[in-house]
Structure 1
Amino acid sequence: MFKKILIANRGEIACRVIKTARRMGIATVAVYSDADRDAVHVEMADEAVHIGPAPAAQSYLVAEKIIEACKATGAEAVHPGYGFLSERASFCEALEKQGIAFIGPKPKAINAMGDKIESKKFANAAKVSTVPGWLGVIEDADHAEKIAGDIGYPVMIKASAGGGGKGMRIAWSQAEVRDGFDRARSEAKNSFGDDRVFIEKFVVDPRHIEIQVLADAHGNAIYLGERECSIQRRNQKVAEEAPSPFLDEKTRKAMGEQSVALAKAVDYQSVGTVEFIVDAQKNFYFLEMNTRLQVEHPVTELVTGVDLVEQMIRVAAGEKLAISQKDVKLTGWAIESRLYAEDPYRNFLPSIGRLTRYRPPEEGRSGDAVIRNDTGVTEGSEISMFYDPMIAKLCTWAPTRLEAIDAMSDALDNFVVDGIEHNIPFLAALMQHPRWREGRISTAFIAEEYPDGFAPIVPDAEETAVLAAIATTVELLRRDRLDRLSGRLAPHSGALKRDWEVKIGEAYIPVSIVEGMISIPLEADLSIAGAPPVTVVSEWRPGEIVWHGSIGRRRISAQIRPVPNGIRIAWKGMAVTARAMLPNTAALDRLMPVKLPPDTSKMLLCPMPGLVVSISVKDGQEVKAGETLAVVEAMKMENVLRAERDLTVAKINAKPGDSLAVDAVIMEFA
């Protein structure tokens, strides 16, 4: 077994590998760029080596620097994580020449399966069912248009060396092919240093289901069930689960056996993932094979009890698999939510900045559920524009799917992240969505359910009552604390006020304290909107962000943040501003004029912090709705900003190469 390994990666996956290596008694070496000097993975490792500037192309993607770090520290093997150099056969070969083991498959398998074009050809030759498409070199946009027309719309334009949703575009018509081809090539070159793309038929409303395989160097290969990865946005997975709620045992077995056969055909050695698209009739088509560890591997670990990172290390060290196919049992259900630094209310555009608060839920068993959080950040960490925007992978396991979903819902309500925008509100809303809870999903789920973008869930009458109860208790305990700090012994200036009104949105909800005194811990009976009294119990203290308690028989965890004249409550995908007032104050509040937001309709605002790639118009130019105005890059993704209506450009305030903050004015219109 290895005595020391180097992790050629960063963030949560580097931390994940270090945890397993530490448990196995293996010393670890981290590498880091200028941007990651104070990163968590650097602190966790036994040693750390600086490898260059922040851009990945000058640090994490430079194989020579990784090899130099191995030599300097005496690392015997390299775990590549995912992304970066994880699927580069040339990197694997370079390590082998230096006598350094690669914790992953051999170059033969990487070459055969790691390139999407070559893997399609190989799968066709092996008579694996594949999606119709063009696997040759696409010369230019004109050639792309011809190929797409021959295949039939819609088509998927994909980077050959791609991954993580980058370098991928769907074209529904000839008009969209040329722009999609250009954008896919540009993103592919920037992210992977390889601008080759291919085109294939896009299967409408498919499920994305993948099989986890594990093989050693002694001819043994098994599959460890499947993962459902259909909840995607811009071809980037958002939530995954194991097993799939769609597959039956017959289909699972067929997909698993086909995946193992494919792995054996290329002499695969390590963990790998064979991805399929599955239609409504359970017909499955080979999509690609990822010759590395997948981001979503924790859900497989939770339902099988197999540590995939440990298996990778043991296989790379020459050991035989200690488990056979008959040993693989899928127990319970696991859900993974990917927490991204992105603003769900701005079409999920990236957000960067410092984590002023980062307090994940406690890991471990909670009742019948298990909580796991794979992360590479801590409070004070900076989310940089140079790398992937993932903050953490929050996972829950429970005996049944709905129990796992409910555990995830509660864990998200307890996950505190401040300082940047993040997608927890969307993930929390997803856990409540009937279609998700019923398992009726496809890769088009987000586009279909949120066609106009994501907005917070609007609370119904029962949920509004819960929010009103929380707001009332927060205000009562706040006033009680102020009275005690001022030295008054009697609460609330001498008398407990029994009648209140809570403003949520434009509604005023009457709340009456039927019985109980306000103190910590709080226990009181409240009548809300004239309904029968309900008992509210909580140990929440002023200043705490998470409100824990029970309202009636319902256990509640909600996040509380102060705003001018009230509080902001986030709970299960809802986000409301609430203000608890005495009735006479509420009467005056109803008379207050409404302040309107400023008019920005004649401006193009930068929707996220990013780099201006290009400006497509000039002063005085008339443009039509849908025409490109500018392209802004953030988190390695190019975002095309288009005109929403016919207009005339009055003034351009930015130029290519400018780094802009969110809401910076790029241009103004007449």
Structure 2
Amino acid sequence: MFDKILIANRGEIACRVIKTARRMGIKTVAVYSDADRDAVHVDMADEAVHIGPAAAAESYLVIEKIVEACKRTGAQAVHPGYGFLSEREAFPKALAEAGIVFIGPNPGAIAAMGDKIESKKAAAAAKVSTVPGFLGVIESPEHAVAIAEEIGFPVMLKASAGGGGKGMRIAHSKDEVAEGFARAKSEAASSFGDDRVFVEKFITQPRHIEIQVLGDKHGNCIWVSERECSIQRRNQKVVEEAPSPLLDAETRRLMGEQAVALAKAVGYDSAGTVEFVAGQDKSFYFLEMNTRLQVEHPVTEMITGIDLVEEMIRVAAGETLRYAQDDVKLDGWSIESRIYAEDPTRNFLPSTGRLTIYRPPEEGSVDGITVRNDTGVEAGGEISIYYDPMIAKLVTHAPTREAAIDAQARALDAFAIDGIRHNIPFLTAIMQNPRWREGRLSTAFIAEEFPDGFVAPAPDGAVATRMAAVAAWIDYLEAKRKRTLTGQMMGRTLHVSRERVVMLDKQRFDVTVDEGRDGVVVIGFSDGASYPVASGWRPGRPVWEGTVGDVAIAVQVRPIVNGVFMQHQGASAAAKAFTAAEARFVELMPEKKVADTSKQLLCPMPGLVKALMAAVGQEVKAGEPLAIVEAMKMENVLRAERDGTVKALHAKEGDSLAVDAVILEFA
């Protein structure tokens, strides 16, 4: 077994690998760029080596720097994590030449499976069912259009060396093919250094299901379990689960056997994932193989008890696979939510900045429910423009799917992040979505359930009642504390008014707060009901955790003038509590007018202007592309929302813009 390994990655996956290595008694070496000098993975590792500037192309993607870091520290092996160099055939070859072990598959398997075009050819040869498509390299937009028309719309344009949703576009028409080809090609070159793009038929209402495989260097290979990854946005997975609610035992076995047949055909000898697109009728087709550890691997670990990182390390050290196919047993259900630094209310555009608050829910197992949080950040850390915007992966495990979803919803409510925008409200809303809870999924789920984008819903029904009760409880607690301190200074007792008018934005709740020996009871609401409220919350804490009635809940609370901003189960509202007299005056206050920006194109995220497609005096139609802004390795096309004439340009190609910077102005 190795004495020391280097992790050629950053963030949460670097921390994840370090945890397993530490448990195995293996020392670790971290590498870091200028932007990651104070990162969590650097502090966690036994040693750390600086490898260059913030840009990945000058640090994490430079093979020579990784090899040199191994030589300097005496690391015997390298775990690549995912992304960066994990699927570059040249990387394990360079390590082997330097006498360093690659904790991953052999270069031949990477060459056969890591390239999406070649992998489809290998899958067809291994008699694995494949999606109709053109497996050659496409040279031009015109070539792409001709192929798409032959295959039939819709089609998927995909980077051959891609992954993580980069370099992928769905096209429903000739115009979309031409534009999608340019964007996919550009993103592929930027993210992977390989701009080859291919086209395949896009299956309507598909489900994305993948099979985890494990192989060793002695010819053994098993499939571990499936994961369903159908909840996606722009081909980027958002929520994953294991097992899949679609599959029955027979379909699971058939998919597993095909995955193993493909892995054996290329001599696969590590952890890898064979991805399938599945129809609602349980038909399935080979999509691609990822020759690395997947972001969503924790859900497989939770339902099988197998540490996939440990198995990768043991296999790389030459050990025989410790599991036979019959040894793999599935236990319960697991859900994973990817928490991103992005603004779901602004078309999920990336958000950068410093994490002024980062307080994840407590990890551990209680009453059969397990919460796990894989992360690589901490309070005070910075989310930069240089890397993927993932903050954490929140994972729950329970005996049933329903219980795992409920646990995930509670954990999301208890996850406090501030300083940047994030997608927790959106993830929480998904957990409450009836279609999600019923398991009626497809990769079009987000587009169909949130066709106009995400707007945090106003509190309603039981959610509104619970939030109002908590707001009344908080206001009563703070008023009592203030009057107690003032009364002590004055030498007399000051009483707290029990009547409250709680406003959740514009919803009004007239309640009474009653305090007795058993705690606080909030009485009133539309039905005159009484709700005992109990919590150990103290002012300043970002999450209120306790019970309202007999329901245990978590509510995110952020101080605002005269109240708190609350988020609970995907709903959000500014909550303010007043006496009856105060409420009458508040109703007379004029509302602030929002500035009119309808004649401006604003930069929706911090980013680099890659292209401007408009000129002063140009007439544009709604939907026409106006600019391309690159942020976090993704190119975002900004389009005109209505017809108009360009009056002025306030930015040029190559400019680095802040959020809401004016790009151009309409007459």
Q: TM-score range by the shorter chain?
A: over 0.9
Shift of the alpha carbon at 1:517? 5.1
Alignment pair present for 1:565 and 2:562: yes
Q: 1:608 aligns with which of 605, 619, 628?
A: 605
Distance in 2 between the 1:548 and 1:522 partners? 15
* Alpha carbons 2:472, 2:522 under 8 Å: kept: no
* Alpha carbons 1:523, 1:538 under 8 Å: kept: no
* Alpha carbons 1:548, 1:557 under 8 Å: kept: yes
Q: How does 1:8-23 map to 2 (within 5 A)?
A: 8-23=8-23
Where does residue 644 of structure 1 map in the other structure? Answer: 641
Alignment pair present for 1:546 and 2:548: no
Where does residue 65 of structure 1 map in the other structure? Answer: 65
Instruction: Give the letter aligned to residue 539 of structure 2.
Output: P
Shift of the alpha carbon at 1:462? 2.3
Distance in 2 between the 1:72 and 1:273 partners? 33
Where does residue 500 of structure 2 map in the other structure? Answer: 500
Instruction: Give the letter aligned to residue 412 of structure 1.
Output: L
Query: Compared with structure 1, are the counterparts of its residues 377 and 491 closer, same or farther at alpha carbon in structure 2 (3 Å cutoff)?
Result: farther
Where does residue 385 of structure 1 map in the other structure? Answer: 385
Distance in 1 between the 2:455 and 2:127 partners? 45
| TM-score normalised by the chain length of structure 1 | 0.98
SS state of the match for residue 453, structure 1?
coil
SS state of the match for residue 49, structure 1?
strand
Where does residue 213 of structure 1 map in the other structure? Answer: 213
Instruction: Give the letter aligned to residue 252 of structure 2.
Output: R
* Alpha carbons 1:522, 1:538 under 8 Å: kept: no
Between 639-648 and 460-469, the greater mean CA deviation after superposition: 460-469
Distance in 1 between the 2:27 and 2:265 partners? 34
Alignment pair present for 1:618 and 2:598: no
Distance in 2 between the 1:121 and 1:612 partners? 38
* Alpha carbons 1:359, 1:416 under 8 Å: kept: yes
Shift of the alpha carbon at 1:522? 4.5
Shift of the alpha carbon at 1:562? 1.2
Alignment pair present for 1:655 and 2:659: no
Where does residue 190 of structure 1 map in the other structure? Answer: 190
Instruction: Give the letter aligned to residue 291 of structure 2.
Output: T
Distance in 1 between the 2:39 and 2:492 partners? 47
Distance in 2 between the 1:201 and 1:155 partners? 5
Where does residue 341 of structure 2 map in the other structure? Answer: 341
SS state of the match for residue 15, structure 1?
helix
Between 317-326 and 492-501, the greater mean CA deviation after superposition: 492-501
Distance in 2 between the 1:490 and 1:293 partners? 65
Instruction: Give the letter aligned to residue 211 of structure 1.
Output: I
* Alpha carbons 1:117, 1:136 under 8 Å: kept: yes
Between 227-236 and 492-501, the greater mean CA deviation after superposition: 492-501
Where does residue 74 of structure 1 map in the other structure? Answer: 74
Distance in 2 between the 1:306 and 1:625 partners? 52
Distance in 2 between the 1:195 and 1:279 partners? 30
* Alpha carbons 1:548, 1:556 under 8 Å: kept: yes
Distance in 2 between the 1:525 and 1:617 partners? 58
1:311-357 Cα deviation digits (max 9, x unpaired): 00000010001110110000011110100000011011000011111
Where does residue 532 of structure 1 map in the other structure? Answer: 529
Distance in 2 between the 1:174 and 1:522 partners? 66
Shift of the alpha carbon at 1:220? 0.7
Alignment pair present for 1:585 and 2:590: no
Query: Compared with structure 1, are the counterparts of its residues 522 and 420 closer, same or farther at alpha carbon in structure 2 (3 Å cutoff)?
Result: farther
Distance in 2 between the 1:422 and 1:565 partners? 25
Distance in 2 between the 1:12 and 1:151 partners? 40
Distance in 1 between the 2:338 and 2:400 partners? 21
Where does residue 89 of structure 2 map in the other structure? Answer: 89
Question: Structure 2 regions of 5+ residues with no counterpart?
Answer: none
Alignment pair present for 1:116 and 2:116: yes
Instruction: Give the letter aligned to residue 142 of structure 1.
Output: E
Distance in 2 between the 1:325 and 1:461 partners? 48
* Alpha carbons 2:463, 2:568 under 8 Å: kept: no
1:522-573 Cα deviation digits (max 9, x unpaired): 5234222352322222222222221122111111210111112321011111
SS state of the match for residue 516, structure 1?
strand
Distance in 1 between the 2:169 and 2:140 partners? 16
Distance in 1 between the 2:496 and 2:187 partners? 62
SS state of the match for residue 51, structure 2?
strand
Count how many residue pairs are aligned between Structure 1 and Structure 2.
667
Instruction: Give the letter aligned to residue 617 of structure 2.
Output: G
Between 458-467 and 562-571, the greater mean CA deviation after superposition: 458-467
Alignment pair present for 1:38 and 2:38: yes
SS state of the match for residue 544, structure 2?
strand
SS state of the match for residue 260, structure 1?
helix
Query: Compared with structure 1, are the counterparts of its residues 591 and 145 closer, same or farther at alpha carbon in structure 2 (3 Å cutoff)?
Result: same
Q: How does 1:127-276 map to 2 (within 5 A)?
A: 127-276=127-276
Shift of the alpha carbon at 1:489? 8.1
* Alpha carbons 1:156, 1:200 under 8 Å: kept: yes
SS state of the match for residue 533, structure 1?
strand
SS state of the match for residue 282, structure 1?
coil
Where does residue 632 of structure 2 map in the other structure? Answer: 635
Question: Structure 1 regions of 5+ residues with no counterpart?
Answer: none
Distance in 2 between the 1:487 and 1:367 partners? 44
1:139-165 Cα deviation digits (max 9, x unpaired): 101111100000000000000000000
* Alpha carbons 2:469, 2:531 under 8 Å: kept: no
**What is the identity percentage for the equivalent residue pairs of Structure 1 and Structure 2?**
65
1:208-250 Cα deviation digits (max 9, x unpaired): 0000000101111111110000000000000100000110000
Query: Compared with structure 1, are the counterparts of its residues 275 and 490 closer, same or farther at alpha carbon in structure 2 (3 Å cutoff)?
Result: farther
Instruction: Give the letter aligned to residue 24 of structure 1.
Output: M
* Alpha carbons 1:480, 1:492 under 8 Å: kept: no
Between 274-283 and 538-547, the greater mean CA deviation after superposition: 538-547
1:36-63 Cα deviation digits (max 9, x unpaired): 0111111111111111110000000000
Distance in 2 between the 1:606 and 1:424 partners? 23
Query: Compared with structure 1, are the counterparts of its residues 490 and 555 closer, same or farther at alpha carbon in structure 2 (3 Å cutoff)?
Result: farther
| TM-score normalised by the chain length of structure 2 | 0.98
* Alpha carbons 1:469, 1:528 under 8 Å: kept: no
Distance in 2 between the 1:586 and 1:458 partners? 20
Instruction: Give the letter aligned to residue 645 of structure 1.
Output: R
Distance in 1 between the 2:657 and 2:491 partners? 50
Shift of the alpha carbon at 1:492? 11
Shift of the alpha carbon at 1:491? 12
Distance in 1 between the 2:519 and 2:352 partners? 39
Distance in 1 between the 2:203 and 2:325 partners? 31
Instruction: Give the letter aligned to residue 650 of structure 2.
Output: N
Where does residue 362 of structure 1 map in the other structure? Answer: 362
SS state of the match for residue 52, structure 1?
coil
Distance in 2 between the 1:525 and 1:48 partners? 54
* Alpha carbons 2:619, 2:645 under 8 Å: kept: yes
Distance in 1 between the 2:634 and 2:287 partners? 22
* Alpha carbons 1:511, 1:529 under 8 Å: kept: no
Distance in 1 between the 2:469 and 2:32 partners? 48
* Alpha carbons 1:549, 1:555 under 8 Å: kept: yes
* Alpha carbons 1:484, 1:491 under 8 Å: kept: no
> Alpha carbon RMSD of aligned pairs, Å?
1.4
Shift of the alpha carbon at 1:463? 2.0
Where does residue 283 of structure 1 map in the other structure? Answer: 283
Between 303-312 and 531-540, the greater mean CA deviation after superposition: 531-540
